[in-house]
Structure 1
Amino acid sequence: MLSGKVLDCYHNSIVGWLLHVLTVSHIVFNIVSVILQRRLTSDFSPPQSLKMHCKTCALVTSSAQLTGRKRGQEIDRSECVIRMNDAPSVGYEQDVGQRTSLRVVAHSSLQRVLRSRQELLNASQDTVFIFWGPSSCMRRDGKGHVYNNLRLLKQLLPRLQIYIISRIKMLKFDELFKKETGIDRKSSNSWLSTGWFTMAIALELCDRISVYGMVSSTHASVPYHYYEPSGPDECSMYLSHERNQQGSHHRFITEKTVFANWARTLDIHFYQPDWKPVAVITSTNSSYAPAPAGS
């Protein structure tokens, strides 16, 4: 008879291999899903709404504005710490802190999260994950490849707290963007950024939001991600997306204008760089009122 340690080792090896499979091929996933269907009993059926409330939240961006600024302890003192996509904390604790209460992840970042599974998944059993994506990726009829991967991930790691932003909620975020900017997301070929979803979710969950690394209109140029020092330039990334008229793109600068407007009436504060909105911007219709959080 195999000992408990041997069985645990065997189970961990199988889970590790299957998580690796998820990072390699969507086709292989379908085969693995059929094989495991009768052996894994934990289904992926998250509740309709997330029951979470925090008096103080640190919303940590992925910007290299945080590099070398040693805000980590300050960030960790917040009741809840919110991060985005696959942004790591290990190795960057002095600047970005080490706690993660909530992580908002784009459909396009799922594979990167799986590649960093040892830190982001295996060591994050207390972290709540919220995934967002277009309905084509999240459909539940077997054709939504991101939903399928998340369902298998939940079966492999049943303790993970995984939520999905519903199609109805996604439409509400689109409506909010149009209401605040006058821009129709679809007709303008715009993709809302993970930052947009994260800020809107934080407004529903948090009484006070301290945002770290989100720039104002004027700032020093730094790498787009603090964990990719040789990656693209943040300022160039913002401008290229904002000015792009062909294909889908983000509206980073437009979104940050909305965030600044919200900060005039809501308990939102910006650090590293430290700044406050100084004038009312009349091009938006800022009237956001947080609604109950939904998956």
Structure 2
Amino acid sequence: MHCRSCALVTSSGQLPGSRQGRRIDESECVIRMNDAPTRGYGNDVGNKTSLRVIAHSSIQRILRNRNELLNMSHGAVFIFWGPSSYMRRDGKGLVYNNLQLMNQILPQLKVYMISRHKMLQFDDLFKRETGKDRKISNTWLSTGWFTMTIALELCDRINVYGMVPPDFCRDPNHLSVPYHYYEPLGPDECTMYISHERGRKGSHHRFLTEKRVFENWARTFDIRFFQPDWEPQQLPGAQPEASPLA
């Protein structure tokens, strides 16, 4: 799979009212995450889906909403990620078992799992970019991390919709929006980001750390951010790089 232009659509509450849907659908490929719906939100998030990256924790919601998320995504590719114990093929892998069920219900779907080897590559990439060991720091990589990295392998140009810059939440006057555009009564986006970034007990996503990495990648790769519109300040002496997973 290769796309000249990709729209990477986040699930952020920054998107309602943006009217970015037509622009998103004009992209050669549109990438979405987890169970983020398009029905009823098309004016702001578009209707087209080429690839959907899905966390193991979202698979039950995907199955419950399969009429919208699966049947309406003709020709779309679905990539699932999760701990290796969830992907095992000996009857004890929760995600693998559910994917087999999904394949029986909708055998025409193009469904893939991220391999254990690839998951280790993602862990190594996180450590290389941040200096932090994912396991030691009690970090779970977010679906956004997998999605952005996969997009860099597939897309020549990536337009990201709904991703705030890493320092956005430090501004006391920042816009308060829900974490998910389709859950208007859900938790506040910045509250979620900050609580995960500061959390030390249990496992957390490091959303803000990941966004700093994405900002850095955007200095050397063709990545642009919309809704809100922002671009990283170019650092002196920056040199073009190969794909992060190369």
**TM-score range for the pair, normalised by the shorter chain length:** over 0.9
Please point out which of 238, 248, 251 is paired with 2:203: 248
Task: Confirm or deny: 8 A CA contact 1:130 1:162 kept in the other structure.
Answer: yes
Contact 2:125-2:245 at 8 Å conserved across structures: no
Distance 1:193 1:224, change over 3 A: same
Deviations 1:236-289 (A, max 9, x none): 0000000001000000000000000000000000000000011549xxxx9662
Give the partner amino acid of 1:249.
H
CA offsets 1:201-238 (integer angstroms, 9 cap, x no match)? 00000000000000012242210000000000000000
Equivalent residue for 1:23?
none
Match of 1:289 among 228, 236, 243: 243
1:141 aligns with 2:96: no
Contact 1:261 1:280 in 2 (8 A): no
- What CA distance in whole angstroms lies between the structure 2 residues aligned with 1:227 and 1:260? 26
Structure 2 residue matching 1:109: 3-state secondary structure? helix
CA distance in 1, matches of 2:83, 2:15: 30
1:264 corresponds to: 219
Q: Equivalent residue of 2:70, what SS?
A: helix
Deviation at 1:81, TM superposition (A): 0.3
2:189 to 229, 234, 237: 234
Q: Structure 1: which 5+ runs fail to align? A: 1-51
CA–CA distance in structure 2, aligned partners of residues 160 and 122 of structure 1: 9
Aligned CA distance change for structure 1 residues 176 and 247 (closer, same or farther; 3 Å): same
1:276 matched residue in structure 2 = 231
Whether the 8 Å contact between 1:138 and 1:144 is mirrored in structure 2 is yes
Please report how far the alpha carbon of residue 152 of structure 1 lies from its aligned counterpart in structure 2 after TM superposition.
Answer: 2.0
1:60 to 1, 4, 9: 9
Say whether the 8 Å CA contact 1:72–1:95 is kept in structure 2.
yes
- For 1:220, the aligned partner's letter is L
1:122 counterpart SS class? coil
The equivalences for 1:1-295 within 5 A come to: 52-216=1-165, 217-218=167-168, 219-278=174-233, 280=235, 289-291=243-245
Instruction: Name 1:29's counterpart in structure 2.
Output: none
Deviates more, 1:54-63 or 1:154-163: 154-163
Which deviations, in whole Å up to 9, do the C-alpha atoms of 1:121-158 show, x marking residues without a partner? 12223111000000010011111011011012112211
Please give the secondary structure, in 2, of the residue aligned with 1:94: helix
The 1:149/1:164 distance shift into structure 2, 3 A limit, reads: same
Cα distance between partner residues in 1 of 2:84 and 2:241: 27
* Secondary structure class of the residue paired with 1:59: strand
Structure 2 runs not aligned, ≥5 long: 169-173
Q: Quote the Cα distance in structure 1 between the aligned partners of 2:202 and 2:241.
A: 30
**Counterpart residue identity of residue 122, structure 1:** N
AA matched with 1:57: C
Larger Rg: 1
Matched residue of 1:191: which SS?
Answer: coil
Query: Any conservation in 2 of the 1:180–1:287 contact (CA below 8 Å)?
Result: no
Letter in 1 for 2:227: Q
Structure having the higher helix fraction is: 1
Equivalent residues of 2:221, 2:241 under 8 A apart: no
Q: List structure 1 runs of 4+ shifted beyond 6 angstroms.
A: none
Aligned pairs, how many? Answer: 237
1:135 and 1:287 mapped to 2: Cα distance? 30
Question: What fraction of aligned residue pairs are identical, expressed as a percent?
Answer: 70
